[in-house]
Each structure stands twice: as structure tokens, then as C-alpha cells.
């Protein structure tokens, strides 16, 4: 018995020693995240993380200077706009090849757009709402004919993956690709600085530098994305040095601790993602805008930020986040936070009292936005119930059911979040209060006056006029309150001390090719 025991101990020791020899190589970065990849197809994927991967393995005709909102030439070396503002002609770079070897030309661009329109995927509205057709003028010139003048069209071409050209010889034209193994050649193909060499859903995705890329080659030759099931494990992995970089999404308490850790770099950026409270303005008790105003006035955004997020985000006082052009803070002064008197006045006028309180269900979804949701719901309930004239019941539904329920107008009041599709205040306003957008988000608010305002700001190109229009919209928001903003997020990226180059700007685009190791 004793001998067996000793033998086991020796073996164990040997294993410990051998496993300590790390496999780190100086050209590889291990990037940890708790996000998930959805479909590996730009025509259907509509989530932040998958878009991030696309922005590194694909490229748009235009692109951004990393870390800024400056639109610069991408796959196209230049473009022109007609006077009306509804025709954009792009001149493509010469001699570019997809990682499959196929030549890149205008046909590929047209093919990609046509395919996205035909497949009618989740993000396809970003194309179909704007593009009437794409014309191939010659192998290196392509013209986008829009449905109407759109001042911010270049931002969409630069930032939205559905516009990034795909290889027609690899992607199937009639179905959405979920896994790279379905493609010809079994791997993803693109024109970006990296190419994807290995894909294991929910475990790892491996990217390697793309030798065919037209621009500066990335300094880090290999990026391994590791998927973690929960933030706690990821935080510990980072602290132990098992991963080099961690991004999205970490618990507030972890962010606090990691920020104070001397052995790590903290990159904090304002992230134009917002969270807000949504009202069903059509068939629920919130058809009456006074009640929407009342409930909105009871929110204490500062407290929510402190209690739930330990102060790591920013309270938001308009649907347009700070840092975006034309952003204001209309909810701040009147009614401001936790204005119980204001709310009670409205409630009483609508006929509610302590004996007959306004009763409604407040819905949240437990994991889609992270597991702080339940805490936010609990805090908001406590805030709303500071007045005895309202009675709140918290309810929850998983994301699948949640979406179903808002389509079916079954939720009177619920939490939603929003990551920008393109960087323009239109994406934060028309998307919720324009008739079409409101239906898509379960708000069902509709007003001709608002729609007219939105049409105007979308088509006019004079920034002064747009600024006026958006000021008006944001002011009207406090009156109609189809949604009530709660906070805008900050993004935190943590890296090992020697990893630099994290440069995520207001566009939220994370360019892996900017990363590099710094010798200390």
C-alpha cells in the first residue's frame, strides 16, 4: 500500500512539474471572453462579438482609423457621391485576393449585397432600408444606388459587416452559414488582416495573420480566442496569467478588483452601448403617456449605477449617449432622478391612489445582457415602489421567450439594451421611436410627426440642421417617453502588463492587428 502511495505521489509531482512548462510563444495572444459566437455569416450575425471577429477577418470598402470615427479608404481606395447624395461610387484597390486565392473585384461586392438582401437575415435591414441596388460599372468600380440621400452611408459601409465583401466561390448563395466547416475548403475566407484557422464553437477560435492583406501586417501572428462560460473563471484565468487579455463581460466586482491589480493594464473606454426601460405604448396600461412619464421619473439612475455596477458605467439622460454627436441630457433636469413628487402628481391625475395603485409587471431577461439584470430589476422595483401608488411585480423570461413576448405585445414594461449598428444618433432614436423601429423593439410607438422628423434628419446633410432636429427629438423624448434611458456602458479591457495596443474607439471596433507586446 505504502509503495503504491509513494509511486502516485511521484507521478503527481512529475505531472505538476511538466504542466508548468507553459506553451506561451511570443507571437501569440490568448484572448478570453464570455461572449458567444453566433453564425459565421455576415448576412445573418447580429451580435457584438461575432461582428468583432468579422471586423478582423473581413474588411469593408471603407474603414476607420483605429480608435477614431474617422472614415478612411479600406478595400476601396476612393469614392464619390453624386449631388443628390443617393449614389455612391467606389473605386476598388487593384490586385487584392481573398484568402482562398480568388481575385477580389466589383462582382464580389455586388454578389455579397445581393445575397444579404435575398437571405433576409437579422441585420439585413441595414442594407435593405437604404440600398436600392448595386451596379458593377467595371471590374474595379462599383456603384451603390440608395433609396434616398443618406448622409451617414459611409459609416455603414465602414462599420457594418453585412457590407463586407465575401468570396462568391466559397460562400453558398442561398443559405446562411452557421459553421465554417460548411464552407468550401472548410474555413472562413476574407480580406482582413487575419484569417480563421480553427473553429470550435464555445471553446476556441484561432486566428492567424493573413498574408494577403493589403495593409500593414499585424504584429501578433496568432490570436487564440478562448470562450469562458462565466466571468469569474475568466477573471481568475487572467490573474493567474493563463490568458493575456480579457474583454466582455466581467462582473462589476471583478472589474473593481482587476482595476486595482498592479500586474495588469486596465483600458477603460466609453462604450456607446445603452440600457433602457421600454414601454409597450400600444396595448398596455402604458398607452397613457402620463404613466410612462411617471414611472420614468421614479428611476434613480445614479443609484442603479452605484448599486448594481459599482459605479462603473455612466447614468444616461438621453437615448443618444454622451460622446455621440448632437447628444444632450434632457432627462437630467426635468424630471431628473427619483422625482417622486413629479410622478405622484401624474399618477394621481390618472386616477391612481395608495388604495388603488398602478400595478404592472416589470420584465427582465436573466442572461442575455449579463447576470446583473436581476439586480437591476430588483433595484428599479425598489425605486419605483418608493411611492405607494405603484405596485411592481418582477417577472423574467429567457431571451427566446422574451423576444417572442415583445413581438406579441405581452410585456408592458421591460428592459432592453442596444449596441450601435452604425455611429450616428439616428441609430439611437429612429430605431426606437420611428414606426418601423418601434415595432421591431416591441415599443409600438407611432407618430407621424416623429416619423417626419426622422425622415428629415436622415436625408438632409447639413450638420447644423441635423443638430437642430436631434435636439428637438431628444426634447420630445422626455414628453412622450417611449423608452427611458438608464445608463450607457463603459468598456473594460484588461491585459497583462506587456500587452499594448488596445485601441477601441467610439466605433467599438476592436482591431486585433493593433495589438503588440512591449518589452519591459
Interaction residues for another protein, span 448-507 (CB under 8 A): none
Q: Does 382 bind another protein (CB under 8 A)?
A: yes
Least distance in angstroms from the C-beta of 517 to another protein: 15
Q: Does 375 bind another protein (CB under 8 A)?
A: yes
Among 232, 322, 446, 459, binds another protein (CB under 8 A): 232
Helix, strand or coil, per DSSP, at residue 8: helix
Give the contacts of 449 (CB within 8 A, at least 6 positions apart): none
Q: For residues 421-440, which are near another protein according to CB under 8 A?
A: 440
For 393, which DSSP code? E
Q: Does 517 bind another protein (CB under 8 A)?
A: no
Least distance in angstroms from the C-beta of 4 to another protein: 12
Give the contacts of 499 (CB within 8 A, at least 6 positions apart): 29, 244, 245, 265, 515, 516, 517, 518
Cβ distance to another protein smaller for residue 2 or 18 = 18
**Crossing angle (nearest 10°) for helices 463-480 and 426-433:** 40
Q: For residues 194-223, which are near another protein according to CB under 8 A?
A: 198, 200-204, 206
Cβ distance to another protein smaller for residue 249 or 511 = 249
Least distance in angstroms from the C-beta of 374 to another protein: 5
Q: For residues 84-103, which are near another protein according to CB under 8 A?
A: none
Q: For residues 305-324, which are near another protein according to CB under 8 A?
A: 307-308, 310
Cβ distance to another protein smaller for residue 175 or 516 = 175
Cβ distance to another protein smaller for residue 404 or 518 = 404
Give the contacts of 359 (CB within 8 A, at least 6 positions apart): 390, 391, 392, 393
Q: Does 5 bind another protein (CB under 8 A)?
A: no
| Ramachandran angles phi, psi of 483, nearest 5° | -140, 155
Among 8, 9, 10, 14, binds another protein (CB under 8 A): 14
DSSP 178-198: -SGGGSGGGS---SSSEEEEE
Angle CA 494–495–498, to nearest 5: 155
Q: How many chain residues interact with another protein (CB under 8 A)?
A: 76
Only segment of 59-67, 73-81, 320-328, 391-399 that touches another protein (CB under 8 A) = 391-399
Cβ distance to another protein smaller for residue 94 or 147 = 147
What's the rounded Cα separation, in Å, for the pair 318 and 36? Answer: 29
Among 100, 141, 179, 435, binds another protein (CB under 8 A): 179
Cβ distance to another protein smaller for residue 200 or 348 = 200
Only segment of 65-73, 246-254, 287-295, 349-357 that touches another protein (CB under 8 A) = 246-254
Cβ distance to another protein smaller for residue 178 or 345 = 178
Q: Does 224 bind another protein (CB under 8 A)?
A: yes
Least distance in angstroms from the C-beta of 219 to another protein: 19
Least distance in angstroms from the C-beta of 397 to another protein: 7
Written as nine digits, the cell of 142 is: 462599383
What's the rounded Cα separation, in Å, for the pair 201 and 203? Answer: 5
Query: How far is CA 129 from each of CA 45, 48, 124, 248, 400, rounded to the nearest angstrom?
Result: 17, 21, 8, 30, 25
H helices of 281-372, in order, are: 289-298, 301-309, 330-333, 340-349
Q: Which residues pair with 146 in a beta bridge?
A: 131
Q: Which residues pair with 135 in a beta bridge?
A: 143
Among 2, 3, 5, 19, binds another protein (CB under 8 A): 19
End-to-end CA distance of the chain: 51
Least distance in angstroms from the C-beta of 375 to another protein: 6
Contact 177, 171 (CB under 8 A): yes
Written as nine digits, the cell of 210 is: 493573413
Q: Give the x-and-dash track for 43-82 against another protein (CB under 8 A).
A: ---x------------------------------------
Cβ distance to another protein smaller for residue 33 or 63 = 33
Q: Does 398 bind another protein (CB under 8 A)?
A: yes
- Nearest in space to 87 (alpha carbons), one of 163, 145, 152, 150: 145
- Give the H or E element holding residue 418: strand 413-418
Q: Does 231 bind another protein (CB under 8 A)?
A: yes
User: How many CB atoms are located within 10 Å of the residue 28 CB?
Assistant: 16
What's the rounded Cα separation, in Å, for the pair 503 and 493? Answer: 10
Among 287, 345, 403, 409, binds another protein (CB under 8 A): 403
Q: Does 228 bind another protein (CB under 8 A)?
A: yes
Q: Does 393 bind another protein (CB under 8 A)?
A: yes
Q: Does 30 bind another protein (CB under 8 A)?
A: yes
Written as nine digits, the cell of 291 is: 404613466
Cβ distance to another protein smaller for residue 219 or 381 = 381
Cβ distance to another protein smaller for residue 139 or 388 = 388
Least distance in angstroms from the C-beta of 9 to another protein: 14
Give the contacts of 385 (CB within 8 A, at least 6 positions apart): 391, 392
Q: Does 9 bind another protein (CB under 8 A)?
A: no
Cα four-point dihedral sign 176, 177, 182, 187: positive
- Nearest in space to 52 (alpha carbons), one of 405, 475, 386, 511: 511
Q: Does 341 bind another protein (CB under 8 A)?
A: no
Q: Does 374 bind another protein (CB under 8 A)?
A: yes
Q: Does 364 bind another protein (CB under 8 A)?
A: yes
Amino acid at each position: 500500500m505504502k509503495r503504491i502511495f509513494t509511486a502516485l505521489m511521484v507521478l503527481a509531482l512529475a505531472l505538476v512539474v511538466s504542466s508548468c512548462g507553459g506553451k506561451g510563444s511570443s507571437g501569440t495572444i490568448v484572448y478570453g471572453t464570455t461572449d458567444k459566437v453566433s453564425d459565421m455569416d455576415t448576412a445573418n450575425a447580429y451580435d457584438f462579438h461575432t461582428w468583432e471577429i468579422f471586423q478582423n477577418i473581413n474588411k469593408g470598402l471603407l474603414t476607420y482609423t483605429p480608435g477614431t470615427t474617422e472614415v478612411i479608404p479600406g478595400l476601396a481606395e476612393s469614392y464619390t457621391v453624386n449631388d443628390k447624395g443617393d449614389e455612391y461610387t467606389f473605386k476598388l484597390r487593384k490586385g487584392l485576393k481573398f484568402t482562398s486565392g480568388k481575385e477580389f473585384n466589383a462582382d464580389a461586392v455586388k454578389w455579397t449585397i445581393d445575397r444579404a438582401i435575398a437571405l433576409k437575415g437579422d441585420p439585413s435591414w441595414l442594407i435593405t432600408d437604404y440600398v436600392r441596388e448595386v451596379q458593377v460599372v467595371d471590374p474595379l468600380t462599383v456603384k451603390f444606388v440608395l433609396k434616398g440621400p443618406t448622409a451617414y452611408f459611409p459609416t455603414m459601409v465602414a462599420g457594418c459587416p453585412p457590407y463586407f465583401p465575401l468570396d462568391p466561390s466559397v460562400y453558398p448563395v442561398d443559405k446562411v452559414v452557421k459553421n465554417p466547416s460548411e464552407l468550401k475548403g472548410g474555413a472562413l475566407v476574407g480580406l482582413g488582416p487575419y484569417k480563421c484557422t480553427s473553429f470550435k464553437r464555445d471553446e476556441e477560435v484561432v486566428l492567424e495573420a493573413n498574408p494577403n492583406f493589403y495593409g500593414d501586417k499585424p504584429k501578433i501572428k496568432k490570436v487564440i480566442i478562448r470562450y469562458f462560460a462565466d466571468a469569474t473563471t475568466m477573471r481568475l484565468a487572467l490573474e493567474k496569467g493563463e490568458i493575456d487579455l480579457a474583454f466582455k463581460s466581467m462582473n462589476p466586482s471583478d472589474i473593481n478588483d482587476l482595476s486595482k491589480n498592479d500586474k495588469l493594464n486596465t483600458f477603460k473606454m466609453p462604450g456607446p452601448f445603452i440600457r433602457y426601460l421600454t414601454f409597450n405604448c400600444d396595448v398596455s396600461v402604458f398607452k397613457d403617456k402620463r404613466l410612462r412619464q411617471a414611472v420614468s421619473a421614479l428611476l434613480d439612475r445614479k443609484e442603479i449605477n452605484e448599486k448594481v455596477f459599482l459605479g462603473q458605467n455612466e447614468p444616461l439622460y438621453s437615448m443618444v449617449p454622451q460622446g455621440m454627436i448632437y447628444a444632450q441630457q434632457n432627462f437630467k433636469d426635468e424630471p431628473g432622478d427619483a422625482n417622486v413628487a413629479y410622478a405622484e402628481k401624474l399618477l394621481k391625475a390618472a386616477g391612481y391612489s395608495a388604495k388603488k395603485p398602478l400595478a404592472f409587471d416589470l420584465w427582465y431577461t436573466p442572461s442575455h445582457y449579463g447576470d446583473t439584470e436581476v439586480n437591476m430589476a430588483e433595484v428599479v422595483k425598489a425605486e419605483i415602489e418608493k411611492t405607494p401608488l405603484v405596485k411592481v411585480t418582477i417577472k423574467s423570461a429567457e431571451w427566446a421567450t422574451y423576444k417572442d413576448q415583445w413581438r406579441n405585445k405581452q410585456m408592458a414594461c421591460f428592459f432592453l439594451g442596444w449596441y450601435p449598428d452604425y455611429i450616428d444618433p439616428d441609430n439611437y432614436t429612429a430605431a426606437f421611436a420611428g414606426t418601423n423601429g418601434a415595432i421591431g423593439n416591441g415599443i409600438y410607438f407611432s407618430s407621424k410627426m416623429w416619423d417626419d422628423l426622422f425622415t428629415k434628419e436622415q436625408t438632409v446633410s447639413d450638420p447644423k440642421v441635423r443638430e437642430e432636429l436631434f435636439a428637438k427629438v431628444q426634447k420630445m423624448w422626455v414628453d412622450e417617453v417611449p423608452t427611458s434611458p438608464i445608463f450607457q456602458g463603459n468598456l473594460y479591457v484588461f491585459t497583462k502588463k506587456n500587452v499594448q495596443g488596445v485601441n477601441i474607439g467610439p466605433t467599438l471596433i476592436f482591431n486585433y492587428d493593433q495589438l503588440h507586446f512591449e518589452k519591459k
